[in-house]
Amino acid sequence: MSAGPTDKKLVANYSLQKKINWALVVRLLLGAGVILYVLSRFIPCGAVSDSPAVGELDYSWTQALQIGFATHRQFGTDIIFTYGPWGFLGCGYYPPTYLISVVAWASLALVFLHAGWRLACHFSRNRLVAGLWLVGVTAAVSIPAKNDFSIIPVAWVMLLLCQHFFSEEPALTPTSILLAASMGWMSLVKFTNLMECAIVLAVIAADTIFRRRRFPWMVAVWVVSLLFFWVAAGQRLDLLEPFLLSSWRITTGYTEAMMLSGETETRAAVCYLLLATLLCVLFGRMAWLRYRYFAVLPTVALGMILFMVFKMGYVRNSWEHEATSAMALVLVSLMGLAVCQKEQKRLLTATVCLLVFAMLFAASTFNYWLPGNGLSRQFAQTFNLTSLFAPVAASSTGSLRSEYESSLASERKDVLVSSIKGSADLYSYDQIFLFAHGLSYQPRPVMQSYSAYTPELAEINSAHLRTAQAADNILFAVQTIDGRFPALDDGLSWPELLTRYDFKGVADAEAKFLLLSRAIAPRTFHLIPLQNITANMGEAVAVPAMIKGPVWAEIVIKKTLAGKLASMLYKPPVLTLEVTLKDDSKHRYRLVPGMAASGFLLSPIIADNAAFAALTTKDWRQDLAHSEVKWITVSANTQSGSTVCYQSTMALRFYCLDYPLPDSSKIPSSVFKSKN
Report the CATH number at residue 608. Answer: 2.60.120
Q: Are 122 and 159 in contact (CB under 8 A)?
A: no
Query: What is the residue-averaged pLDDT of the chain?
Result: 88
Q: Are 251 and 192 in contact (CB under 8 A)?
A: yes
Residue 54 pLDDT level (bands cut at 50, 70, 90): very low
pLDDT at residue 180 above 90? yes
H/E element, 610 = helix 609-614
Domain count, the chain: 2
The angle, 0 to 180 degrees and rounded to 10, between the axes of the packed helices 174-186 and 191-210 is 150
Within-domain flag for 422 = no
Average pLDDT of the residues in 248-275: 91
H/E element, 529 = strand 526-536
Residue 544: DSSP 8-state: P
| Distance from the first to the final alpha carbon of the chain | 97
Q: Where are the beta strands (DSSP E) in 557-624?
A: 575-581, 586-591, 600-603
Highest mean pLDDT among 2-6, 32-36, 157-161, 372-376: 157-161
Q: Are 578 and 586 in contact (CB under 8 A)?
A: yes
| One-letter identity of residue 566 | A
pLDDT given for residue 259 in this prediction? 92
Within-domain flag for 507 = no
Per the model's pLDDT, the better-predicted residue between 664 and 502 turns out to be 502
Within-domain flag for 398 = no
Burial of 643 (0-12, 13-18, 19+ CB in 10 A): buried
Within-domain flag for 454 = no
Measured CA to CA, the distance from residue 472 to residue 502 in angstroms comes to 11
Residues 416-433 pLDDT 10s: 655 788 999 999 888 888
Within-domain flag for 465 = no
Residues 6+ away with beta carbon under 8 Å from 7: none
* Residue 156 domain boundaries: 20-242+255-385
Measured CA to CA, the distance from residue 37 to residue 389 in angstroms comes to 9
Residues 6+ away with beta carbon under 8 Å from 373: 366
Annotate 464-505 with DSSP letters as a single string.
HTTSTTS-SEEEE----STTB-TT-TTGGGHHHHHHHEEEEE
pLDDT given for residue 55 in this prediction? 34
Measured CA to CA, the distance from residue 374 to residue 369 in angstroms comes to 8
Measured CA to CA, the distance from residue 467 to residue 470 in angstroms comes to 6
Measured CA to CA, the distance from residue 91 to residue 278 in angstroms comes to 32
Q: Are 633 and 539 in contact (CB under 8 A)?
A: yes
Nearest to 550 by CA among 616, 608, 464, 504: 616
Within-domain flag for 182 = yes
Show which of 327, 350, 385 is a domain's final residue. 385
Q: Are 509 and 414 in contact (CB under 8 A)?
A: yes
Measured CA to CA, the distance from residue 487 to residue 600 in angstroms comes to 6
Residue 2 pLDDT level (bands cut at 50, 70, 90): low
CA 542 to centroid of chain Cα atoms: 39
Show which of 325, 350, 385 is a domain's final residue. 385
In the β-sheet with 526-536, what is the strand arrangement from edge to edge?
526-536, 649-658, 551-556, 600-603
Nearest to 206 by CA among 299, 83, 134: 299
pLDDT at residue 401 above 90? no
* % of the chain exceeding 70 in pLDDT: 90
Within-domain flag for 126 = yes
Cα dihedral sign, 427-432-434-435: positive
CB atoms within 10 A of CB 138: 24
Per the model's pLDDT, the better-predicted residue between 545 and 169 turns out to be 545
Q: pTM score > 0.85 for this model? A: yes
pLDDT given for residue 640 in this prediction? 87
Query: Would you state the torsion angle of the CA atoms of residues 153, 158, 161, 167, taken in this order, to the nearest 10 degrees?
Result: -140
Coil/strand/helix, residue 134 = helix
**Alpha helices in 570-601, H assignment, sequence order:** 593-598
Measured CA to CA, the distance from residue 590 to residue 579 in angstroms comes to 11
pLDDT given for residue 408 in this prediction? 82
CA 135 to centroid of chain Cα atoms: 26
Coil/strand/helix, residue 506 = strand
Nearest to 457 by CA among 61, 63, 74, 76: 76
Coil/strand/helix, residue 240 = helix
Residues 290-318 pLDDT 10s: 999 999 999 999 999 999 999 999 998 88
Show which of 385, 419, 444 is a domain's final residue. 385
* % of the chain exceeding 90 in pLDDT: 66
Measured CA to CA, the distance from residue 587 to residue 538 in angstroms comes to 15
Tell me how many degrees the CA angle 646-649-655 measures, rounded to the nearest 5: 110
Residues 149-170 pLDDT 10s: 778 999 999 999 999 998 877 7
Residues 475-519 pLDDT 10s: 999 999 999 999 999 999 999 999 999 998 888 767 789 999 999
pLDDT given for residue 145 in this prediction? 55
Within-domain flag for 327 = yes
Residues 581-635 pLDDT 10s: 999 999 999 999 999 999 999 999 999 999 999 999 988 999 999 999 999 999 9
